[in-house]
Amino acid sequence: FQKHEFFVDMTCEGCSNAVTRVLHRLGGVNFDIDLPNKKVYIDSEHNVDTLLETLRKTGKNASYLGEKSAQ
C-alpha cells in the first residue's frame, strides 16, 4: 500500500475524533493522525478521491498532500 498524506484543518481532540470516526466508518484503512501539524496519514486500498471525500465529511477543510513512501 501507498501511504497517503492529507492536510486536515484540525484544531483540537474533537476534530481528530471526528476524523477517526469517519475513517472507521469507511473501513479498510490504517491511519495516523498528527494533530499538531494537522496531518493525517492513511494507508488504504481506497482511492484518494474517496479518502478526501471521507475526510471532508468532518466539515473540516481537507486537502491531499501526496504519497508518503512507507518506511
State pLDDT tens for residues 26-40.
Answer: 999 999 999 999 999
Residue 71 domain flag: no
pTM of the model: 0.91
Residue 2 domain flag: yes
Predicted local confidence at residue 68, as pLDDT: 80
Domain of 42, in residue numbers: 1-66
CATH number of the domain within which 40 lies = 3.30.70.100
- Answer yes or no: is pLDDT of 70 > 80: no
Which among 43, 19, 18 is positioned nearest to 30, based on CA atoms? 43
Residue 28 domain flag: yes
Sign of the dihedral through C-alpha 5, 26, 61, 30: negative
Residue 1 domain flag: yes
Residue 32 domain flag: yes
Report pLDDT digits (tens) over 40-58: 999 999 999 999 999 999 9
Predicted local confidence at residue 71, as pLDDT: 52
Residue 53 domain flag: yes
| Number of domains comprising the chain | 1
